[in-house]
C-alpha cells in the first residue's frame, strides 16, 4: 500500500496541532484533578518528594494517636490520685472522731469500735481506687509504666513510671484497725497511736503531692508533643500539596490559550491544504 506524502507545510502544521492537543489534554486533566503532578512521569522529583512527605505524615499521625492514649492514661491516674486524697481526708476525719471518743469514758469502746470499722472500710476503698485507676490495662497507681514514642524512628521517647498508691504503698496502717478494747495494743487505744496514724497520713499526702506533680509534668510533655506532632503533620501535608497541586487560575488561562491555539492550528492546516486543492480545480 502506497504511503501518503504530506507537503512540508502540512506536516509542520499537523505536528504543531498534535503538540497543542497533547498539552491541552494535560491542562484539562490538571483542571479536573487539581493536580499538576499526579504520577511519576509528570515530575519524578516532586512526585517522590511529596510521597515521602505523605508517608511520614501518616506515620506521625499514628504516633499522635498513641500519645493521645497516653494522655488519657495519665489523666485517669491523676483522677485516681485526687480520689485517694479525698479518702485520706476521710480517714483523718475518723481520727478526729476517735480522739473525741477517747475522752468519752462511758461510750468509748463502742464508739471506737464503730470508728475502727469506718477506718477499715475507707482503707479498703482507697485500695480499690488505686487498683481501678487503669486505662487500657496501664495503671500508674499500681506501679505501671508506659513508654511513648515521639518520632517515627523511636529515637525520642518518654517513659512514664507510676507508683504504688495503695495503703501499704503509702505506708498507711492497713485496714485491720481495732477499737480501744482492753489493751493499749488496739489501733485506736491511745492518743499516741492516733498521732502515729496521722503522721503516716501526712506522709502519704506528701507522697501523693510529689507523684501528682510528676504526673502533671508528664502530661505537659505529652500535650506539648501532641501539639507539635499535629503541626508537623500539617506542615508535611501542606508541603506535599504544594509540590503536586495545580494553580487553577493559571491552568484556566492556559486552557483558553491552548483552545485558541488549537483553532488557529486547524485554520493553518486548512490554509496549507489549499495548494493541493488548487490542483483539483485544473481538472
- For residue 207, being part of any structural domain is answered with yes
Is residue 279, in this structure, part of any structural domain at all? no
Kindly state whether residue 12 falls inside one of the protein's structural domains. no
Residue 274 has pLDDT above 70, yes or no: no
Q: Is 90 exceeded by the pLDDT of residue 258? A: no
Best CA proximity match to 200, nearest among 222, 173, 174 = 173
261 in any annotated domain = no
Q: Up-side HSE of residue 40: CA atoms within 13 Å toward CB?
A: 3
Can you give the residue range of the structural domain that contains 136? Answer: 46-243
Report the number of distinct structural domains present in the chain: 1
What would the grid cell of residue 228 be? 507539635
Give per-residue pLDDT as tens, 152-163.
888 999 999 999
How far apart are the C-alpha atoms of 264 and 19, rounded to whole Å? 13
pLDDT tens digits, 170-223: 988 776 666 655 445 567 778 888 888 899 999 999 999 999 999 999 999 999
pLDDT digits (tens, 9 = 90+) for 218-246: 999 999 999 999 999 999 988 887 777 66
Contact at 8 Å (CB) between 177 and 188? yes
Res 138 pLDDT > 50 = yes
Residue 155's domain is classified under what CATH number? 1.20.1330.10
Average pLDDT, the chain: 81
Tell me whether residue 171 is in a domain: yes
30 lies in a domain?
A: no
- Position 271 scores a pLDDT of 66
90 confidence band (pLDDT: 50, 70, 90): very high
Amino acid at each position: 500500500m502506497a504511503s501518503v506524502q504530506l507537503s512540508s507545510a502540512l506536516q509542520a502544521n499537523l505536528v504543531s496541532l498534535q503538540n497543542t492537543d497533547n498539552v491541552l489534554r494535560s491542562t484539562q486533566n490538571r483542571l479536573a484533578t487539581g493536580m499538576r503532578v499526579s504520577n511519576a512521569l509528570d515530575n519524578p522529583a516532586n512526585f517522590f518528594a511529596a510521597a515521602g512527605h505523605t508517608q511520614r505524615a501518616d506515620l506521625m499521625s499514628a504516633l499522635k494517636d498513641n500519645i493521645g492514649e497516653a494522655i488519657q492514661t495519665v489523666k485517669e491516674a491523676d483522677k485516681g490520685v485526687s480520689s485517694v486524697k479525698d479518702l485520706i481526708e476521710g480517714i483523718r476525719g475518723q481520727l478526729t472522731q476517735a480522739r473525741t471518743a477517747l475522752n468519752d469514758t462511758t461510750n468509748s469502746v463502742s464508739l471506737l469500735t464503730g470508728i475502727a470499722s469506718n477506718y477499715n472500710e475507707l482503707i479498703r476503698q482507697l485500695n480499690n481506687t488505686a487498683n481501678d485507676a487503669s486505662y487500657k490495662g496501664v495503671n500508674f497507681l499500681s506501679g505501671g509504666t508506659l513508654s511513648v514514642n515521639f518520632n517515627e524512628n523511636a529515637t525520642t521517647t518518654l517513659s512514664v513510671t507510676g507508683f504504688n498508691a495503695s495503703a501499704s504503698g503509702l505506708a498507711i496502717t492497713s485496714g485491720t484497725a481495732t477499737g480501744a478494747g482492753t489493751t493499749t495494743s488496739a489501733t485506736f487505744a491511745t492518743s499516741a497511736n492516733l498521732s502515729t496514724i496521722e503522721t503516716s497520713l501526712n506522709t502519704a499526702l506528701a507522697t501523693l503531692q510529689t507523684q501528682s506533680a510528676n504526673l502533671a509534668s508528664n502530661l505537659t510533655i505529652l500535650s506539648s508533643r501532641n501539639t507539635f506532632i499535629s503541626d508537623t503533620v500539617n506542615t508535611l501535608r501542606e508541603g506535599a500539596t504544594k509540590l503536586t497541586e495545580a494553580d487553577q487560575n493559571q491552568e484556566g488561562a492556559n486552557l483558553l490559550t491552548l483552545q485558541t491555539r488549537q483553532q488557529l492550528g486547524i485554520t493553518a492546516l486548512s490554509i496549507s491544504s489549499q495548494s493541493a486543492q488548487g490542483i483539483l480545480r485544473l481538472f
